[in-house]
């Protein structure tokens, strides 16, 4: 521990801190622009100057290590004069356009100038003018406002892992720009907007939409992937205006993906706001009463074995649980599944389908093996953690099959499933590396779990890890990357019709063996409809609504309070930020109302009762002893090729988003011009 003085107070702190960090731990705020705790130290803004005894001049506290016996002063006249001098330099070229700047009200420079700014400037020269830079459809630039803090450059290089930003020129002629002024390609690019302490980089889709004090702010959970990033949803009336990251060090730190941030404009496009019935191949508006009557009549006249249901990729746990209760208790059918593909899953043990090493545990790993996954597109935030592990620990990374540019170096192993067989039989060089590693991580993606050999791949890997003591309470090396926000929650709630790990319900749907099919937020199903009567419950007029005979408008993820379980098995609560449009209802209410008409009794009398029952179900399941019997099925040799969804069109909200469409088109144009990495 270090003993030092800050403003004549004796302070005891741990070693390895900078003076700035020491001051902040002591409860003293230090003004700063270039410093950020998640980035390397630049020390170029000089706003954090402090006085240190025996030092001839003020010291930049962000770059100075705290040492034993230091006497630091932050409130002297010398410090104040130095900071005012720095502020004068920063404002010398800064335009006076606060009234029209989108950063107004959230600007660090604006706040600090209230403390250290002066009403007059000694500079008589003309202010510089910097031409605008093109950074793609997400980031609006006003580079005349730039104060050269270089946060954006360091983020792109260090966190995003894409060297897309750099500086040209020196002094006041310095300019931040992209290579050949092309669009930023990183899926984390828009985080530079949050990092920018002035209005040089702002949100292009959000430009001139609202002021921060006009917005209602709601902390909730993202559903664009299975990571479960913590976010803040800002709404103006019914409309979601923007989404920002909320700090959670265990999951997303303080970053979010571009899709998480900008797909929100899809919440107001292609929305369903009233029930529809397809008659003579035309959709006609009907009332809720009429819709319920049609559905009830169909169900009564249909055998339960001929009724099936699929829940979707954005479906919350409350809706999946009441759907399970509705099928099992109300209509007496077992044909319900939460999957829209044939990915293999072994639900005998929860560790078989979650990310056991935890997202923040990636930083402790000394070896990472990727099997049939591209985490950059499947779980962008998780991929940033892998890059962090590489930078921090020089972690060795291998991929079975070429995963493309993952933003960090890795070694490619042939994509044949025979490599899995060789590894698990100790006939491969990787086998020894896994055995000798202290905390290895094997990440199995959905592309591998959709193969014919999926069962062999999963069970063999698990058997190999257990036999080599890599699966324990302290560290579990077996990890699964889920595709969707609802995947793990659906497995936890047993919303499955499993046939040897595969999707029995989907198999029968694709064979056209059902008469009634419920699509509950399910917009990714592919099958040729024949005589089936399809009931669609969802928020958008997408793929599910296109084939539906009756459409019931539901609520989107920002419009209802609900729970989601992320890929590492962490249950998180999402809060209502907005409300459904028109006559739309929360999905659980629709199924509850149908049950009341069919059985003269609601499944649950309130949402609180539903949540209590759901949590009791999960708690009871915890006490059930897991089946740990491991067997190795027959080996099938085949190629492990990545089966990636269109990143910008991966779900119904993203497909309805104008911004995501622009990003997608921009990516396509980059490929055409040959400027893509």
What's the pLDDT score for residue 633?
82
What's the pLDDT score for residue 122?
86
pLDDT tens for 528-562 read 899 999 999 999 999 999 999 999 999 999 999 99
Query: Would you state the structure tokens that stand for residue 307, as one six-digit string?
Result: 């009724």
Sequence-ordered strand ranges (E) for 438-531? 440-444, 478-480, 498-499, 502-503, 516-520
Q: Is the pLDDT of residue 672 over 50?
A: no
pLDDT tens for 597-648 read 998 889 999 999 999 999 999 998 877 666 666 667 888 899 998 887 789 9
What's the pLDDT score for residue 254?
95
Q: Is the pLDDT of residue 673 over 60?
A: no
Query: 3-state secondary structure string, 243-289?
Result: EEECCECCCCECCCCHHHHHHHHHHHCCECCCCEEEECCEEEECCHH
pLDDT tens for 14-41 read 988 999 999 999 999 999 999 999 999 9
Phi, psi (rounded to 5 degrees) for 278:
-90, 115
Q: State the pTM of this model.
A: 0.92
Phi, psi (rounded to 5 degrees) for 290:
-65, -40
Q: Is the pLDDT of residue 653 over 90?
A: yes
pLDDT tens for 247-256 read 999 999 999 9
The DSSP output letter for 639 is B
Torsion of CA 542, 548, 550, 556, to 10 degrees: -30
Question: What's the whole-number mean pLDDT along residues 119-143?
Answer: 88
Q: Is the pLDDT of residue 671 over 60?
A: no
Phi, psi (rounded to 5 degrees) for 218:
-130, 125
Where helices occur in 273-417 by DSSP H, the ranges are 288-300, 317-325, 375-378, 380-393
């Amino acid at each position: 521990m270090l003993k030092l003085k800050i403003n004549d107070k004796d302070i005891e702190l741990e070693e390895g801190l900078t003076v700035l960090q020491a001051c902040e731990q002591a409860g003293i705020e230090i003004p700063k622009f270039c410093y950020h705790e998640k980035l390397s130290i630049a020390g170029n803004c000089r706003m954090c100057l402090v006085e240190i005894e025996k030092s001839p001049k003020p010291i930049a506290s962000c770059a100075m290590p705290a040492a034993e016996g230091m006497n630091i002063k932050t409130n002297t006249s010398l410090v104040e004069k130095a900071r005012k001098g720095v502020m004068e330099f920063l404002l010398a070229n800064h335009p006076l356009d606060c009234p029209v700047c989108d950063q107004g009200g959230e600007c660090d420079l604006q706040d600090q100038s209230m403390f250290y700014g002066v009403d007059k400037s000694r500079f008589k020269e003309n202010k510089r003018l910097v031409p605008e830079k093109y950074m793609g459809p997400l980031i609006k630039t006003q580079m005349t406002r730039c104060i050269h803090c270089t946060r954006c450059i360091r983020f792109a290089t260090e966190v995003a892992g894409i060297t897309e930003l750099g500086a040209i020129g020196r002094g006041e002629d310095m300019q931040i720009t992209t290579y050949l002024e092309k669009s930023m390609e990183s899926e984390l690019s828009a985080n530079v907007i949050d990092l920018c302490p002035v209005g040089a980089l702002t949100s292009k889709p959000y430009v001139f939409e609202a002021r921060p004090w006009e917005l209602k702010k709601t902390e909730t959970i993202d559903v664009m992937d299975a990571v479960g990033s913590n976010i803040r949803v800002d709404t103006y009336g019914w409309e979601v205006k923007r989404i920002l990251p909320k700090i959670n060090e265990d999951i997303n730190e303080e970053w979010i993906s571009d899709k998480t941030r900008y797909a929100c404009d899809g919440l107001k496009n292609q929305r369903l706001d009233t029930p529809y019935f397809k008659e003579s191949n035309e959709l006609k508006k009907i009332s809720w009463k009429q819709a319920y009557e049609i559905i009830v009549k169909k169900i009564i006249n249909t055998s339960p074995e001929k009724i099936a249901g699929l829940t979707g990729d954005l479906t919350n746990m409350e809706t999946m649980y009441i759907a399970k209760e509705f099928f099992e208790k109300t209509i007496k059918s077992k044909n319900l599944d939460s999957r829209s593909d044939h990915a293999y899953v072994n639900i005998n043990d929860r560790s078989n389908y979650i990310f056991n090493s935890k997202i923040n545990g990636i930083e402790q790993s000394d070896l990472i093996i990727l099997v049939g996954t591209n985490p950059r597109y499947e779980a962008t935030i998780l991929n940033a953690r892998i890059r962090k592990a590489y930078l921090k620990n020089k972690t060795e990374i291998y991929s079975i099959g070429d995963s493309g540019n993952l933003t960090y170096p890795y070694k490619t192993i042939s994509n044949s499933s025979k490599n899995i067989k060789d590894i698990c039989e100790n006939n491969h060089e990787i086998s020894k590396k896994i055995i000798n590693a202290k905390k290895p991580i094997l990440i199995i993606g959905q592309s591998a779990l959709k193969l014919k050999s999926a069962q062999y791949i999963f069970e063999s890997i698990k058997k190999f890890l257990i036999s080599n003591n890599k699966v324990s309470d302290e560290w579990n090396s077996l990890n699964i990357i889920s595709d969707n926000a609802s995947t793990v929650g659906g497995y936890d709630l047993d919303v499955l019709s499993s046939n040897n790990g595969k999707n029995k319900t989907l198999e029968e749907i694709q064979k056209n063996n059902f008469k009634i099919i419920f699509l509950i937020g399910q917009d990714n199903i592919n099958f040729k409809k024949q005589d089936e009567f399809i009931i669609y419950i969802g928020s958008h007029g997408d793929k599910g609504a296109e084939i539906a005979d009756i459409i019931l408008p539901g609520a989107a993820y920002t419009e209802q309070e609900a729970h989601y379980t992320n890929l590492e098995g962490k249950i998180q609560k999402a809060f209502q930020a907005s409300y459904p449009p028109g006559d739309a209802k929360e999905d659980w209410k629709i199924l509850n109302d149908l049950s009341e008409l069919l059985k003269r009794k609601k499944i649950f009398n309130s949402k609180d009762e539903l949540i209590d029952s759901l949590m009791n179900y999960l708690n009871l399941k915890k006490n059930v002893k897991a089946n740990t019997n491991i067997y190795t099925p027959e080996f099938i040799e085949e190629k492990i090729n990545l089966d990636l969804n269109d990143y910008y069109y991966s779900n119904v909200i993203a497909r309805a988003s104008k911004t995501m469409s622009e990003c997608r088109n921009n990516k396509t144009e980059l490929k055409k011009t040959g400027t893509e990495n």
